[in-house]
Amino acid sequence: MLNWNTVLTRAKNGNAAPDRRVEKTDAEWRSQLTPMAYQVTRQAGTERAFSSQMCSLFEPGRYGCVCCGSLLFDASEKFESGTGWPSFTQPIQDNAIDYRADHAHGMTRVETTCSVCDAHLGHVFPDGPAPSGLRYCMNAAALAKEAD
């Protein structure tokens, strides 16, 4: 189970190697994604809080990267954070997510990206529920829900 110390170490010293890599040109990403998904995943944007129904969906299933389809989270790790973005306590596997220090907007945060295609997903914070204490605050536009 990942914890905050592991996240900080990876953000500073490097991430676990992904199982595969997907690389496309900017034109290929633009043609594949909706304008919102492109803005969020390829330009590190953020959708408005409470703008997606995904926040309140808690059915079984898995969540993958909207860009490359790599599995990122299982619905069993999803919880209601009250923030307006889908939140999870753990990724589906240890090397699914990469972590980067983010000092934008006068804040210090840890950005999360898909380890396979570098899509911006959101941020992770140390204020989630036990046992991990992590809150992966994700943009719904970066995720694709798969049925169980």
What pTM value is reported for the model?
0.94
Instruction: State the total domains in the chain.
Output: 1
Residue whose token pair is 């943009």: 139
The alpha-carbon radius of gyration of the chain (Å, integer) is: 14
Segments forming the whole domain that contains residue 70: 4-14+21-147
User: pLDDT tens, 112-121?
Assistant: 999 999 999 9
What is the pLDDT, as a whole number, of residue 103? 84
User: pLDDT tens, 5-56?
Assistant: 999 999 999 999 999 999 999 999 999 999 999 999 999 999 999 999 998 8
Catalytic positions = 137
CATH for 65: 2.170.150.20
